[in-house]
Amino acid sequence: MARAHDEHAHEGPEDDVVEVDSTNYADVVLSNPYAWLVEFSSKHCQSCKEFAPRWHELTHEFEAELLFAHVSVDSAEGKALAKELGTLREGIPNLKLVVSADAQPHPIFAGEHAHKIAPSLRAALNLLGRDAEGRALKRGAAAPKGEL
């Protein structure tokens, strides 16, 4: 799987940000029992560039609780996924929390109020179950066998 934000060359949790689009979103994000925070952005978007350091901070702050994915709306497949999930209507940069395989993701951030992201995430995560290591599980999901 391609990693997101290769041009930033950060070490740490952001190395585990998975690049997804309409061709692999269901297999990577929806089929996984864990909660995901998905960032939608464009390399041509100035607001997205300004948001990149905050995204990096979030991957560190929530690395023990969430999995992370990035969708580039620069590709046709990324744009298709963003349109399907309502992100293009909301604007970018955009964060969505995926806590169910069969429901729309929760909007966490759509280009404004970056200081409210962590409290919004924390409130949403407090409603989810956890595996033995504290990682948030999607609603109705059980920890994968061998991790209990």
pTM of structure: 0.85
**Dihedral angle over CA of 41, 43, 44, 46, nearest 10:** 70
Q: What is the pLDDT of residues 44-66, one digit of tens each?
A: 999 999 999 999 999 999 999 99
What is the 3-state composition of the chain as percent helix, strand, coil, each rounded to the nearest 5?
35, 20, 45
Query: Hey, what domains does the chain have and what are their CATH numbers?
Result: 6-125 (3.40.30.10)
pLDDT per position as a tens digit, 26-47: 999 999 999 999 999 999 999 9
Quote the pLDDT of residue 96. Answer: 96
Amino acid at 64: A
